[in-house]
Amino acid sequence: MQQLLWTLLVAVQPKGVLFLGKCGGLKKGSSEIGNFILPIGAIRGDGTSNDYFPPEVPALPSFKLHKFVSDIIIEKQSDYRTGVIFTTNRRVWEHDKKFLKQRDYYFKNYINSN
């Protein structure tokens, strides 16, 4: 599906593209179904993006794009949450003990370090 999407985008040559994603999991009580979440950064646990930057470099959104999207959400009288997210391309990670240990380390030291 992703390859088809890119093929179509190349064909129509848009000036810009805004990809909206989905959230696979949230802490209980942190949000509700339908809430908007605008990440202020991401710990790149997917591994794929390590080809571009080392894992220690966080993924950061464009400030202008973040502001633009947040202004529209507010204009529509909605609300949104912000925070650091953890990305992964793993399937069935809930049963991968090594991955869970790494994820817990990141959450303890970088995400929930209040």
Domain limits of the chain?
33-106
CA gyration radius, the chain: 16
Q: What angle do CA 89, 112, 54 make, to 5 degrees?
A: 45
For position 107, what pLDDT does the model report? 76
pLDDT one digit per residue (tens) for the chain, 114 residues: 566 777 887 888 877 766 666 556 666 666 777 778 888 888 777 777 778 888 777 788 889 988 999 999 999 998 888 888 777 777 777 788 888 888 888 778 776 544
Q: Kindly list the distances between the CA atom of residue 37 and the CA atoms of 25, 31, 47, 110, in Å, as whole numbers in the listed order.
A: 12, 9, 23, 18
State the residue for tokens 């599906």: 1
